[in-house]
Chain A
């Protein structure tokens, strides 16, 4: 069983939706990043680490700003990957990056680097599966889960294709749009989860726009196996809250991820 599958299984056995927390690698600077990432990891089931990119088209203002901070602090691709080594000893780490980052290093070299850093999964938000065959093959040989996203715009035939190709879990995007906090959670979430449940045997994690314990509770009660929180954590790091404060915010999210029905 992959470390990601194991993390979902464990959360489920504790009656929780798994909490996948996103942080931007090297944000706000490579040194502080490790403190924040450790603090976040302490209360998360899976850690998603972004690699900063100059032109993040799938991201809203919060994560764009994190990219700028990290790049300004000279966070390099190899540095971010290396920083994952110490984190991956504690919990499964998933790298999230744009395709040009992988392409520039070369797919095989990139996979071998993240594999050496103990990374468990890879998400490339601008890489539809048609263009990702070779990369995902390389991931499989290295024992890394190539995680695919499905969106509310994805049509049924394609949704089945994505569900059959994704590894580790299926990442369901909660709404049209880029990453970022929203006041309201999309009302479609429960329906999305149940329609993907029918076609996927893997855990389903919901992300994009999930910012508060209330949102997390809603996703958990919609029947999801995992919930991804990004911008709400990243904005706290951006305004330099103390790592303990960020950690306790994340702890609150994890508490909210308990499935009340099973209590």
Chain B
């Protein structure tokens, strides 16, 4: 494939000022990924700071409830910071540090990427600034507070839909202005080349661990891996090491919001068309004039009108399937996992749990499903309680 492209998706659609910076980033990445010092530092931080490897946990009661395939949970919710975001952030923050950048900026939706960035920024002594849509600062207040406590400054973004999309716009504008001394620590497998590749590679530790752990637990790879897909970084990390092994089916759960038919959703792979947003060509939600549509999801982390270009490619090539899970279905899975397994999942990850339970019911009892439980749900307890009508 052409460099920076996944079939007809990907590319580098950015203002001229960023072309040179992206080239510098690409060169640094090619060098550092093979650099012994970099690799040993990253391994060190992953293990002793991040808590890797994360367990692959057999969800016995969830399996019984679904009534079919054996469901395992890849416990990314146990990574430091509470989500898979750490994997990518630690890698990129180390890169920033070794590239001599003293300031890192990042966007965040649910706040998990922002928190992970604040954590890495503190650990490495980097000035950290986070862009977050105003709407998200309100619905993910816990993470807003965590970022500030960790020493990052958070800029609430008031433009557009005041969510993740607009936080990325603002971060890109900051980067164009401060490109010489600032590293843009993009949080998902989206954006211009080489970000989709860098983020995927750092997240692929998830899939590599799944391969080993599944072999240990079941003597073979899983039959199906399920992950939620907003930008799609946890999913591509879980999927990528298995792309060549076609006996492993791959399923991505997008945010169906109030239902695809209502138009209020965040599922460009289900209801989108080809377009260019945030530096790459992918499937996006847009109107006839190419204006980006407002999205809707109960989970801030999936509330995004585009998707990583590699997912668009995997869908087109048929290697992965994608489905939409509504707010209501995600909430049902959120409740079930909390009650049946004693694990409160992030609302994002709840989409994957729901999709996995649906699949499990149609699969034989000796089949094996791995759900990437990408994050924990502490940040979502107020949203969930209010959705369920609970009063305290």
> Residues on A close to B: CB < 8 A?
53-58, 60, 64, 71, 76-77, 99-101, 103-105, 125-128, 130-131, 148-155, 158, 162, 173, 176-178
Is B125 in the interface zone, CB < 8 Å from A?
A: no
B interface bracket (residues with beta carbon within 8 Å of A) = 35 or more
CA distance A72 to B274 in the complex (A): 24
CA distance A64 to B159 in the complex (A): 9
A71 adjacent to B177 (CB under 8 Å): no
CA distance A56 to B290 in the complex (A): 12
B19 adjacent to A158 (CB under 8 Å): yes
Q: If A100-B277, A100-B286 touch, does A57 touch B17 (CB 8 Å cutoff)?
A: no
CA distance A162 to B178 in the complex (A): 23
Provide the B29-65 mask, 1 if CB < 8 A to any CB of A, else 0.
0000000000000000000000000000000000000
B12 adjacent to A55 (CB under 8 Å): no
Is B150 in the interface zone, CB < 8 Å from A?
A: no
Q: If A54-B292, A77-B289, A176-B176 touch, does A99 touch B276 (CB 8 Å cutoff)?
A: yes
CA distance A97 to B275 in the complex (A): 14
Q: Which residues of A contact B262 (CB under 8 A)?
A: none
Is B317 in the interface zone, CB < 8 Å from A?
A: no
CA distance A148 to B166 in the complex (A): 26
What are 19 A-B pairs with beta-carbon distances under 8 A? Answer: A53-B290, A55-B166, A57-B176, A99-B13, A100-B292, A103-B276, A104-B286, A126-B279, A128-B12, A128-B16, A128-B19, A131-B11, A148-B16, A150-B16, A153-B17, A153-B179, A158-B19, A176-B178, A177-B17
Q: If A55-B160, A58-B15, A101-B290 touch, does A176 touch B179 (CB 8 Å cutoff)?
A: yes
> Residues on B close to A: CB < 8 A?
11-21, 159-160, 165-166, 169, 172-173, 176-180, 274-279, 281, 284, 286, 288-292
CA distance A162 to B16 in the complex (A): 10
CA distance A178 to B175 in the complex (A): 10
CA distance A127 to B18 in the complex (A): 11
A126 adjacent to B289 (CB under 8 Å): no
Q: Which residues of B contact A100 (CB under 8 A)?
A: 275-277, 284, 286, 290, 292
Q: Which residues of A contact B13 (CB under 8 A)?
A: 99, 126-128, 131
Partner of A57, one of B12, B15, B179: B15
CA distance A130 to B5 in the complex (A): 13
Q: Which residues of B contact A56 (CB under 8 A)?
A: 169
Known: A100-B292, A153-B21; 8 extra A-B contacts, CB below 8 A, are A54-B160, A55-B165, A103-B275, A126-B13, A130-B12, A153-B17, A176-B179, A178-B173
Q: Which residues of A contact B178 (CB under 8 A)?
A: 176
Q: If A126-B15, A155-B20 touch, does A76 touch B289 (CB 8 Å cutoff)?
A: yes
CA distance A125 to B14 in the complex (A): 8
CA distance A130 to B165 in the complex (A): 25
CA distance A154 to B278 in the complex (A): 20
A149 adjacent to B292 (CB under 8 Å): no
Q: Which residues of A contact B284 (CB under 8 A)?
A: 100
CA distance A125 to B277 in the complex (A): 13
Q: Which residues of B contact A77 (CB under 8 A)?
A: 289-290
Q: Nearest chain B CB to A131's CB is how many angstroms away?
A: 5
